[in-house]
Amino acid sequence: MQTRFTETFGIQLPLACPGMSYIATPELVAATANAGGLGILATGPLNAAQTRAAIRRIRELTDKPFGIGCTLMMPGAHDNCVVALEEQVPVINFSLGKGDWIVKRAHAYGGKVIATVVTEKHAISAEKSGVDGLLVTGHEAAAHGGEVTSLVLIPAIRKVSKLPIIAAGGFGSGAGLLAALALGADAVAMGSRLAMTRESPVHATSKEMIRQRSVSDTLYSRNFDGLWCRMMDTPAARAACRKPMNLLMAGWKASAVARKLKLPVLKVALGGMLKKPQELRQLALFGAATESIRLAIEEGNHQQGVQLIGQVQGLIDDIPGVAELFLRVMQEAEDQLSRLNALHSATAAPYSNS
């Protein structure tokens, strides 16, 4: 199946693995690429040296195009993006920040750039900056989806943009792919579905919990990491979302983040309290959330850990390999299209005889 997404990014199938922290590892990214989709490396938990090593590891595992994700609001994201540009990664996906400089440098070596957006305003701004595609994230998605559901957000952004759209939020099957294409998208990103594959590093305990959950078993709160965020509904997640972090606790948490990233602790913590309290609180929330996410994904620890997951978790009941999953999704899409064509033919027949 060829769409503007596959043609623009040199990909075989209109399927993508978004840059999920601790999940979109080199192994899952490469498996996605080898199966015909676009895999996007998560760099949020990585420093510059680790990002470079991860990029080179992907290239050991595949010769297909791949991408890396840069959440520009997060500490260390700028350095990770610079590394990706130096390594001439084929696709860079940025979010939560201005990416004009990324577009300029990536286009200089023939790279492509995708902006993650959740509103029409963001989509228009991103297109003006010269990006090559949009990752449109609806309300159903894990982590930082928008306020509007995919069913409405995709056609709304299609009205204001001519760029290839990768739809994210609620997609995990061939029927979902066909629906996204009908709404105006050119591909789907299936984060939660790909988290439930054999190549995914998500702990077996967490995978089993995802398999057992329904579509309604998620929480959506801005108290977890400072942005509106969707996660699995567990006692630990409820505790993490109970109330926002106060400034004193933010200073303490931010100092821990600064030490980990080898930033000046006093400047980050004390300076943040005095000069930029909101930015300090955001940094602290990101730092605290990152460890909670790691515990759930890598250790299956749901006493302290929090699992980011989309509402589509309730539609997932098995753990296939990525290649097997992609074959299934494309066959499902073909079957659904045949069903719709048959329905159309049956509906149109009486009118053609009148």
318: pLDDT strictly greater than 80? yes
- The pLDDT of residue 164 is above 50: yes
Task: Give first-to-last CA distance, the chain, whole Å.
Answer: 36
Give the pLDDT score at 45: 86
Confidence at residue 226, expressed as pLDDT on a 0 to 100 scale: 81
Measured over the CA atoms of residue 293, residue 297, residue 298 and residue 300, the dihedral's sign is: positive
Q: Which residue has the higher pLDDT, 248 or 122?
A: 122
pTM recorded for the entire structure: 0.89
Question: For residue 219, which of 230, 210, 234, 209 has the smallest C-alpha distance?
Answer: 230
- The amino acid sitting at 121 is K
Q: How many CB atoms lie within 10 A of CB 27?
A: 16
pLDDT of residue 269: 44
What are 251-294's pLDDT values in tens digits?
Answer: 555 556 555 555 544 444 444 444 455 555 666 667 667 888 99
* Token representation of residue 266: 């006093």
Average pLDDT over residues 307-313: 97
| DSSP annotation string for 258-322 | HHHHT--HHHHHHHHHHH-HHHHHHHHHHHHHHHHHHHHHHH--TTT------GGGGG------H
- For residue 265, the model assigns a pLDDT of 44
Contact 174, 333 (CB under 8 A): yes
What does the block give as tokens for 239? 């505790």
- Pick 18 or 346 by higher pLDDT: 18
Predicted confidence (pLDDT) per residue in 29-76, tens digit: 999 999 999 999 999 889 999 999 999 999 999 999 999 999 888 778
- pLDDT value at position 149? 97
Residue whose structure tokens are 């290649």: 323
In the chain, % of residues over pLDDT 70: 85
For the chain, give me the number of helices (H) and strands (E)?
Answer: 15, 10
* pLDDT in the model for residue 245: 59
Q: What are phi and psi of 28, to 5 degrees?
A: -70, -40
Which domains, and CATH codes, for the chain?
Answer: 4-201 (3.20.20.70), 206-299 (no CATH)
Is residue 205 within 8 Å of 174, Cβ to Cβ?
no
Instruction: Identify the pLDDT of residue 285.
Output: 67
Which range (97-111, 234-248, 339-353) has the least confidence? 339-353
Q: Residues in the chain, how many?
A: 354
Average predicted confidence (pLDDT) for the chain:
89
Mean pLDDT value of segment 168-185:
97
Q: For 120-151, what is each residue's pLDDT tens digit?
A: 999 999 999 999 999 999 999 999 998 999 99
- Residue the block writes with tokens 């988290």: 195
Q: What is the pLDDT of residue 21?
A: 93
Backbone angles phi, psi at 257, to 5 degrees: -65, -45
Instruction: Give the pair of three-digit tokens for residue 340.
Output: 């719709």
In this predicted model, what pLDDT tens digit does every residue of 215-235 receive, in sequence order? 999 999 988 888 899 999 999
pLDDT at 1: 83
* Distance between CA atoms of residues 200 and 177, nearest Å: 21
Percentage above 90 pLDDT, the chain: 74
Q: What is the pLDDT of residue 73?
A: 81
pLDDT at position 248: 58
Q: What pLDDT score was predicted for residue 252?
A: 57
The token duo for 122 is 């963001």
pLDDT per residue as tens digits for the range 96-115: 889 999 999 999 999 999 99
